[in-house]
Structures are given as C-alpha cells and as structure tokens.
C-alpha cells in the first residue's frame, strides 16, 4: 500500500460553484501510479467548500448557488459581521456543503460517475486563491519490466 499527498492551489474565482475536476487531475499526475485506491480532497478554508455534483449542465451550478443564498442570506441578523456581510453566510454554506470529498481510483483514474464532477463552491464575493490537500492511498500499478 502506498500513500501520496500534495497541496495544490486553485486560482481565485468569483462567488459561485465552479467545476474543478480537470484542474485537480492535471495537478495530480501521480494518480497514474495507483491501480486501486481513494483520493481524498480537502479544502483548507472556512468560507469555501468542496462537493461532487453534475458536470454537464451549467444551470445546476447556478441553481445550487441560488439555493445556498436562500438558505444563508446576507441579510440574516448574524452576530459575526467584522469581515463583511458575505463572511458569515460563507461560513454557514461551507459547513453545509463540507470541506472534503473522497473519490475511488482505478487504473490511475477517478471513478466519478458519467455526470459527476468536483466543485469548488466559492462563498465569498471576493476571494483569493484556494488551497486543497490531495491525499491518495492505495495499491500501486505494477511496474513495467
């Protein structure tokens, strides 16, 4: 069994849900070393989240953002307001969505469903880049002789 871990950075994005599967995979060429395993993706922030959802229709991302805004509106009477009106709603949304996902790996590829992709959900109006910790655990591909 083998462990591999690295930290990557995702470019700053506007508020909303963004498909980042390709960006994650492109920054993890080491994935090809694994015959079978698990990729764990963890976001190191409290005002953004990671989730898995539909990768085909952009309307899903827009509707998800609208739904989250309805669940945690900026005009709610929050106590924590020092960092602006979008900060506390961002914390609520990040807690609801989660800080990590785990994805099965086979033959060096993610075993996402046909219509699944990794989302970075950016909950702040103006955020900086976001850091992810990628941890892969599994069995290595046999070495070619």
Residue 145 lies in a domain: no
Angle at 99 between CA 140 and CA 138, to 5 degrees: 10
Residue listed under structure tokens 């960092």: 83
pLDDT for 25-84, tens place per residue?
A: 999 999 999 999 999 999 999 999 999 999 999 999 999 999 999 999 999 999 999 999
pLDDT of amino acid 144: 66
Q: Tell me if 104 is assigned to some domain.
A: yes
- pLDDT tens per residue across span 96-143: 999 999 999 999 999 999 999 999 999 999 999 999 999 999 999 887
Q: What is the CATH classification number for the domain harbouring 70?
A: 2.60.120.460
Residue 57 lies in a domain: yes
Per the structure, the complete domain to which residue 110 belongs is given by 2-140
Q: Nearest CA to 101 among 135, 138, 65, 50? A: 50
Q: Is residue 93 part of a domain?
A: yes
Position 99 in a domain: yes
- Give the chain's domain count: 1
Residue 38, domain member (yes or no): yes
């Amino acid at each position: 069994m083998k462990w591999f871990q690295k930290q990557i950075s995702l470019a700053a994005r506007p508020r909303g849900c963004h498909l980042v599967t390709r960006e994650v995979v492109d920054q993890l060429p080491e994935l090809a070393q694994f015959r079978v395993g698990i990729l764990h993706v963890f976001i190191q922030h409290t005002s953004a989240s990671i989730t898995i959802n539909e990768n085909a229709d952009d309307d899903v991302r827009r509707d998800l953002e609208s739904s989250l805004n309805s669940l945690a509106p900026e005009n709610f009477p929050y106590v924590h307001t020092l960092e602006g009106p979008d900060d506390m709603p961002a914390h609520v949304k990040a807690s609801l969505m989660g800080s990590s996902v785990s994805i099965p790996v086979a033959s060096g590829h993610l075993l996402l469903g046909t219509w699944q992709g990794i989302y970075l959900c950016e909950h702040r109006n103006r955020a900086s880049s976001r850091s992810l910790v990628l941890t892969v655990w599994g069995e290595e591909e046999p070495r070619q002789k």
